[in-house]
Chain A
Amino acid sequence: MRISELNLRANTIRQDIIRMLIAAKSGHPGGSLSAAEILTSLYFGEMRVNPLEPQWPDRDRFVLCKGHAAPVLYAALAEKGYFPKEELLGLRQTGRMLQGHPDMKKTPGVDMSTGSLGQGLSAANGMALAGKLDGKDYRVYALLGDGEMGEGQVWEAAMAAAHYKLDNLAAFLDLNGLQIDGPTDVVMSSTPLFAKWQAFGWHVLQVDGHNIEELAAALAEAKTVKGKPTMIIARTIKGKGVSFMENDAGWHGTVCNAEQSEQALKELQEEAANIG
């Protein structure tokens, strides 16, 4: 029951991603769709948050390091009740709160402004350090992309998180294997990622990033790890849930036309009907 409920949430988030991108006429569907279960497992499973008090000092925090996947974060925040769903249709439009990349000044529930790749994990580290300093029990979560592994700052932050023993931090790696110019193995290979994060001093887990149960188990395990941060490498499919987008780098930053949108929503609605 609980699993199917969460799968339905992820499906709703995917449908909202498609709807908001149709309205915006630009944005990043592929890497948003790949992270739907990850965001669902955080906001509807693990995280201690209160949408009525977005600035609650004791809340868990989430940093979307791969800020271009803003639609999946906005869809999750709206689903959670941080702001009305109608706002989603204002994505990327002048004077509206939902910026092309997350903006903590404009959008309730966004814990850190991101968008320039490589910077988010450092900020998550800072939040985790502050939590330890204040003796608070909140946890900090982050989501990085695999293309983002090319940024040197990620590895600076990886080193520092282990050095400062940030066991109140867990990061996901959305391993969809594709970046703008093509497969990550072709553009700039970052393998072996498991060994790299382990060598940097992290507790590393590997899960199917579309499997709610595996994600929940990984998050539960991360909470038991002491003295080091946890990296959850989540194997995902870029464009997941929309047949013609799946595993196609071309859908990194391109949006559907009217006909494709209809097809995408139809597929997702069929999937929803089959859940549970």
Chain B
Amino acid sequence: MAEKEATRNAYGKALVSLGAENPDIVVLDADLSKSTKTVDFAKKYPQRFFNMGVAEQNLMGTAAGLAAAGKIPFASTFAIFATGRAFEQIRNSIAYPQLNVKIAATHAGITVGEDGGSHQAVEDIAVMRAVPNMTVLVPADGEETRQVIRAAASYQGPVYIRMGRLDVPLLFDGNYRFEIGKANILREGTDAAIMANGIMVAMALEAAEELAQAGISVGVVNVASVKPLDIETIVRTAQQTKAVVSAEEHNIMGGLGGALAEVLAENAPVPMVRVGIKDTFGESGRPQELLEKYGLTRDALIAAVHEVIAKKKNQD
């Protein structure tokens, strides 16, 4: 098995190195710094770290004020509290005035595990994507997280970064290039394409490999930039394969699957199957068991590829 690292860990490290380079980087947390991994930055740069206590609305509003005064704040808490509890602060105090705040949320999706459904954001991408001025990024591994954090810091404007609790396989090395607004084709294919992000990218690569053994050629596209979306790469890939599977650890409504369906319906209507959480809340359990229960596995992706290829054949 490949080496593993949680995206939140990579985030913590990336913050520390960014902090050394740019004195304007400040970090805010809401009493979860040990979990979000902002604690490393807090230790290294205590003057630039603000613990706001258990008060997410004030966390976002304070970040907005720091940005209005020229700082580059990273505001961290769990995805559910960032986008749920503080939604309107993000909307009105950050996005509406287009302030330079990076909302770096961890513990997204059902792989939060044992804490259960109250803590498992399954709708955060949908709500953030619908907010004007907001950029939405979902890294797949540690290396991509490092690059996403750097890209977000360099970008002028609000960014939502979605990260997870669970250790995930390292997929990329220093040769990988993440860019806001660009999708990355990780594997070419002709029969179907899996367009995935976050923890589903590793599973998509495994599924494509296994399908290749069976003579089915499946492409894999990493869509870490959910907004802005790389429409050109997505449409071109859809036109080449004429069958698309979306894969995300999020509700199939409104997230990556929703975004792809919008783009494909307008530009390249091809058969599509969405793999994700089927409009339901999560529950307590071991992350791996939950992934199986909620259909977020390599096998579920393989089944979805068969399904979408069958749809394509029925169309002919």
Contact = CB atoms under 8 A, between A and B. Distances in A.
Interface in A104-122: 104-105, 111-113, 115-116, 118-122
B55 A126 contact: no
Interface in B50-88: 50, 52-53, 55, 57-58, 60-71, 73, 88
A160 B47 contact: no
Contacts of B57: 118-119, 122, 152-153, 156
Contacts of B65: 63, 112, 122-130
Contact of B58 (A104, A127, A156): A156
Given A116-B92, A126-B61, A160 B53 contact: yes
B96 interface: yes
Contacts of A35: none
A164 interface: yes
A238 B53 CA distance: 36
Given A126-B63, A126-B68, A159 B89 contact: no
Contacts of A79: none
A123 B68 contact: yes
A122 B93 contact: yes
Given A112-B97, A156-B55, A122 B89 contact: yes
A126 B67 contact: yes
Nearest to A111: B68
B246 interface: no
B62 A123 contact: yes
Interface in A230-268: none
Contacts of A164: 50
A122 B60 contact: yes
Contacts of A127: 65-66, 68-69
Contact of B61 (A130, A133, A134, A157): A157
A61 B62 CA distance: 14
A133 B47 contact: yes
Given A122-B65, A153-B61, A163-B53, 11 more contacts: A119-B89, A122-B60, A126-B65, A126-B68, A130-B66, A130-B71, A153-B58, A156-B57, A160-B55, A160-B58, A160-B62
5 contacts: A113-B93, A126-B66, A126-B67, A133-B47, A159-B53
Interface of B: 26, 47-48, 50, 52-53, 55, 57-58, 60-71, 73, 88-89, 92-93, 96-98
